[in-house]
Amino acid sequence: MKLLATIALTIYSTLTLASSCPQEVVNTQVLDYLSSELGVDYADALEEWKVENQEVATDLFEATVITNSKTYALTVQVDQMCDIVEYTLKK
């Protein structure tokens, strides 16, 4: 019985890690990180900025943030819970 439970848990964990994150979740976090870095109120960024992202690997996204004055490109790494663990602002 323990073996069966272990196998089921392993399969579930593997499937969970392999599933992609919803774009809305990544977009929200990208806005949060970038607005904080630029010193812009998050509510203003949410209302005025546009975010587009593309998943390039299971845990890696490339995001483009279009603001009123500039376009920013970011590479974003997420963990299995879809939380950003690392991001790079391309200049």
Does the pLDDT at position 10 exceed 60? no
Instruction: Return mean pLDDT, the chain.
Output: 85
Does position 86 have pLDDT exceeding 50, yes or no? yes
Tell me: the pLDDT tens digits for 18-51?
468 999 999 999 999 999 999 999 999 999 999 9
Angle at 27 between CA 16 and CA 22, to 5 degrees: 25
Task: Show the CA angle centred on residue 43, arms to residues 67 and 32, nearest 5°.
Answer: 70
Q: What are phi and psi of 3, to 5 degrees?
A: -65, -40
